[in-house]
Amino acid sequence: MKVTKKSTIKNYQYGVTAFISLMLSSLLCNGQSQASDLKALSIGDTVPYLAFAKAVNYSSPTLSTADFTDKAIILDFWATYCIPCIASFPKMEELQKKHEDKLKIILVSNDKEKAITSFYSRRSDLTLPTGLYQSGAAISKLFPYKVIPHYVWINKDGVIKAVTGHHEVTDKNIELFLAGKPLNEKMKNDELARGNYGGQAIDTLAYDPKWSSNSIALNEKFIYHSSLMRYDPRLTGMGIEGLDTLQYRYRLMQNYSAAFLMQEALGLTTRTSVKMYMDLDNWGLNSISPKATQAERESWQKKYAYTYRIIIEHQDSSKFHEIMLRDIEYALGLRTYNKTIVVPKLILSRVGSTKNPISKGAAPIYTHSIYHIEMQNTPISKLVDVLDRYHVGENLKLKNQRRLSIEDRTGITDHVDISLREINLGDLEVINAALKKYDLKLSLVEEPMEMIVVTDKPKP
């Protein structure tokens, strides 16, 4: 990716200064070492012209922001593995069409070109282009992030006006942005902004100049430390777990719901959280609906988002869940118990006697997104995994259920070949129509299931 200063590009043929600028751009494009000299840009900074040596789904094999000097630009950083990124594309397409005359949305990714091209080949409805760059290149220094999707809002004068997550990308905010009015959105912050270690019990993530990033800084006198804090707007919702150089094992979960923290404390994965059943008087302790407006989300966060941290002196983290469960139950007034409850679930079954899905034995293939599933010589269990991953049937579960259980009752033990293209995994009817040619069906049933009940109600 090439970087060219805006102040010189318009006059490059007239002066030595411009020549030097273009030579610097070439160095940044051809080598990553020079990119390390660049500093991250923030709101109010002027962005240099960005030239991507490779572009996908664009009228040219290369792409430059200089192609859109009369328009505002939103850079949308994404990856093929990022579900929220892909789920936001229909919204981004609508916003691009509505504001075509004044705005250009450019998708940006450091995925392999082959992966991006393959993704586009299955998405005929996606018109937005993607500019490609390599990790460590100039753009990764100018716009650092740790959580995607990541959006950089640049006005037509080349000035950064906002850096946000996907919840802030709304038609109302874009209209304010294009009108030159402030968005009143805080700058997205993927890291804890703290000073260097100052002797506190936990200095959380302190700056480490060796890595030019943040790292754990601890008071070595502590054997272990845990804490639960209310919502901190400086923190982006994320979870970190690791082992630092002092052999402390740590886990940080920033700005999460009480329900999610309980899920972690109970040792439940995303898949096994189907066992979790919320019985609450205060439903704010549950997760916020993904359909909530930004104002509703911000209001909920202030009341019900929490950050939990635990650090143990040695590598053994076997006590993490026990300590975390104790902390959260005590601080938030929650308790758990087991109970058999009749709940909705989805069952994958066969509806014919043919051997349609059975694999023909070619090389294994397993790829998927929210709009396709491609399986070749793969266990049928992988189909259930991907249906669960994309929350199929989410609208069919009870309010109390953390997730809807999806079970395989096909009885198929052989590997299968299944290809579902151009589908919407959010629509059960569409999925069943596509599964029909394989004699497979997803059925909604109600059955008893052993659940872990999380409640804020007192014991009877």
Q: What is the mean pLDDT of residues 175-192?
A: 76
Look at residues 185, 295, 293, 203 and name the one whose alpha carbon lies nearest to residue 248. 203
Give pLDDT, residue 431. 92
Beta bridge partners of 242: 250
SS3 state at 408: strand
CB 214 within 8 A of CB 202: no
SS3 state at 129: coil
Q: Which of 28-32, 233-237, 434-438 has the lowest mean pLDDT?
A: 28-32
Instruction: Give the number of other Cβ atoms within 10 Å of residue 133's Cβ.
Output: 20
pTM of the shown model: 0.63
Question: Which CA distances in Å does 443 have to 269, 354, 407?
Answer: 24, 19, 10
Q: What contacts 295, CB < 8 A, 6 or more positions away?
A: none
Q: How far apart are CA 36 and CA 141, in angstroms?
A: 7
For 62-94, write each residue's pLDDT tens digit.
999 888 988 999 999 999 888 788 888 989 999
Q: What is the mean pLDDT of residues 323-335?
A: 94
Give pLDDT, residue 17. 30
For 49-65, write each residue's pLDDT tens digit.
888 889 999 999 999 98
Asked whether residue 299 carries a pLDDT value surpassing 70, the answer given is yes
Burial status of residue 449 (CB atoms within 10 A of its CB: 0-12, 13-18, 19 or more): middle
CB 74 within 8 A of CB 152: yes
Tokens 């328009």 appear where? 71
Give pLDDT, residue 248. 61
Query: Residue 252: which pLDDT band, with cuts at 50, 70 and 90?
Result: confident
Give pLDDT, residue 223. 72
Asked whether residue 407 carries a pLDDT value surpassing 90, the answer given is yes
Tell me the residue type at 98: K
Residue 192 backbone phi and psi in degrees, to 5: -75, 125
The pair of three-digit structure tokens given for residue 46, joined into one six-digit string: 């002027």
Give pLDDT, residue 189. 65
Average pLDDT, the chain: 81
Q: How far apart are CA 65 and CA 131, in angstroms?
A: 10
Q: What is the mean pLDDT of residues 356-369?
A: 87
Q: What is the mean pLDDT of residues 294-316?
A: 83
Asked whether residue 448 carries a pLDDT value surpassing 70, the answer given is yes
Q: What contacts 63, CB < 8 A, 6 or more positions away?
A: 51, 52, 55, 106, 129, 131
Q: Which of 245-249, 265-269, 314-318, 387-391 has the lowest mean pLDDT?
A: 245-249
Asked whether residue 309 carries a pLDDT value surpassing 90, the answer given is no
Q: How far apart are CA 144 and CA 193, in angstroms?
A: 14
For 112-137, write each residue's pLDDT tens digit.
999 899 889 888 889 999 999 987 78
Q: Cα 169 to chain center, whole Å? A: 15
Tokens 């091209």 appear where? 117
The pair of three-digit structure tokens given for residue 185, joined into one six-digit string: 């959105």
Length of the chain: 460
Q: What angle do CA 263, 246, 208 make, to 5 degrees?
A: 90
Give pLDDT, residue 355. 64
Residue 397 is inside which H or E element, if any?
A: none
Give pLDDT, residue 69. 86
CB 333 within 8 A of CB 266: no
First to last CA, the chain: 64
For 2-27, write each residue's pLDDT tens digit.
555 444 333 333 233 333 333 334 33
Q: What is the mean pLDDT of residues 401-424?
A: 91
Domains, the chain, with CATH or none:
2-178 (3.40.30.10), 202-333 (no CATH), 341-455 (no CATH)
For 218-246, write each residue's pLDDT tens digit.
556 667 778 898 988 766 676 766 655 45
Q: How far apart are CA 168 and CA 162, in angstroms?
A: 10
Question: Beta 72-77 vs 103-109: how paired, if at all?
Answer: parallel
Instruction: Region of 136 please: left (phi>0), alpha (psi -120 to 50) or beta.
Output: left
Query: Residue 314: which pLDDT band, with cuts at 50, 70 and 90?
Result: low
Q: What contacts 239, CB < 8 A, 6 or more positions away?
A: 251, 252, 253, 254, 256, 264
CB 214 within 8 A of CB 206: yes
Tokens 């990541």 appear where? 150
Give pLDDT, residue 198. 39
Q: What is the mean pLDDT of residues 180-192?
A: 69
Q: What is the mean pLDDT of residues 295-315?
A: 84
Q: What is the mean pLDDT of residues 199-221?
A: 45
Q: What contacts 159, CB < 8 A, 6 or more positions away?
A: 44, 45, 46, 47
Q: What contacts 403, CB < 8 A, 6 or more positions away?
A: 270, 273, 274, 276, 388, 391, 394, 397
